[in-house]
Amino acid sequence: MRPITRTISAAVIGFAVGAGAVSGGLFAYNQLNPQANATLSLSSPHAKTPYASVATYTPSTLPLGPDTIANVVKQDGPAVVKIVATVPQSTSLSSSPYFNQFFGSLFGNGGSLPSQSSVQTDIGSGFFINNRGYLLTNDHVIHGATKIAVYVPGYSKAFTATRVGTDYATDLAVLKISAPKAVPYLVLGNSTQTPVGAWAVAIGNPYDLSHTVTEGVISAKSRPLTIGSRQYRNLLQTSAAINPGNSGGPLLNLAGQVIGINTAVSTQGQGIGFAIPTSTVEQILPQLMKYGHVIRPWLGVFIATDTKSMAQQYSLPTSQGVVIVSVEPNSPAGNAGLTSGEVITQVNGQTVTSDTQLKNLIDKMKVGQQTSITVNDQGKTLTKTVTIGQEPNGPITPPSSAPSF
């Protein structure tokens, strides 16, 4: 079979600068605002774990007026922290034009490119999600760090944080500090019900300027974004000004609820920032708290879906299905004998017509499940049995921008 070498185009607006480079709650009000109208019920899927309960909510808003944003900041600011991560570094960064597009961290030397050294200090943001010292941030803020210091408002010295759970794919991380008393915490709002055009407030530590506040609106929703090997599938776009050091900080609505975690920015235009929506956090957080990672079914193929044009260019035997561009070594697909150039036409007897459909089919499976994959290989129809594996919690570098499953 002729190898597939065609580059699959995708919109790349950021540059991944995680491990070895620049590495960079839960619903409605907390006790900081006793006059809040939110109704909280403390129910938790982790009732038998040592973690604080996760609050569910009834949406509420502060009285709208000239002091609304100031009141949100007064209420939520004490729960926002600065994170300083020490990352071993053996090589210097290139002067890529995308250098600052992944704005989650900031060099301790003021943002300039570092020279070759043994360690690198990066700065990001985070926020407490319960009163026991658990906090949420971006994975890229602390990825590869050997020491994580957390600066909490009201304390003169930094706390040393431990990792509770990390997820490379969604760029989320949970940390914990041991504070001498209960800490203020934020609560996750409903990003799904947040409309485009709604006001948004960001609090963070851009360029080490602690507790900087900016405001804007939700500019768009469900934005896909590829930064290096991270493929974000569903981001909020905001016009609130965000810069290096903001990553991991909260994006808030006017009720003081977290609706997103600030994560990326485009340097090609002003007022174009991105945040992970709380709808994603709600899906990931329980597993991070319970297991320390996310269990995802994984096939291990990179695919392309413009099968009709590729059928002509590469003399593929069919224009139906999705084309395997590459197979990850030592993956379930590789172990089952799937190869580049084959066209996946069915999964468990169900016709496959797009990458989205293939992803949905794989996502519904369980790790260890045996699955039949039907492929067209040079005009021959073959069915191969694949044992679904667990997706690695780390970077998987595709040969192009083709989606990975």
Domains of the chain: 41-290 (2.40.10.120), 297-390 (2.30.42.10)
- Backbone Cα Rg of the chain: 22
Q: Name which of 28-37, 61-70, 149-158, 250-259 the model is least confident about.
A: 28-37
Q: Whole-angstrom Cα distance, residue 354 to residue 247?
A: 33
Q: Could you tell me the pLDDT band of residue 52, with boundaries at 50, 70 and 90?
A: very low
pLDDT score recorded for residue 89: 73
For the annotated catalytic residues, the residue numbers are 140, 171, 247
Q: What is the pLDDT of residues 132-180, one digit of tens each?
A: 999 999 999 999 999 999 999 999 999 999 999 999 999 999 999 999 9
Residue 256 has pLDDT above 50, yes or no: yes
By the 8 A CB rule, do 280 and 190 touch? no
Q: What is the pLDDT of residues 72-96, one digit of tens each?
A: 999 999 999 999 999 987 654 443 3
Percent of the chain surpassing pLDDT 70 = 72
Q: Could you tell me the pLDDT band of residue 303, with boundaries at 50, 70 and 90?
A: confident
* Cα-to-chain-centroid distance, residue 381: 38
Produce one character per residue of 379-395: b if its CB has 16 or more CB atoms within 10 Å, e if not: eeeeebebebbebebee
Q: What is the pLDDT of residues 115-128, one digit of tens each?
A: 555 788 889 999 99
Please choose, from the candidates 217, 264, 261, 215, the residue with its C-alpha nearest in 3D space to the C-alpha of residue 241.
215
Please choose, from the candidates 324, 330, 320, the residue with its C-alpha nearest in 3D space to the C-alpha of residue 301.
324
Please choose, from the candidates 200, 203, 143, the residue with its C-alpha nearest in 3D space to the C-alpha of residue 171.
143
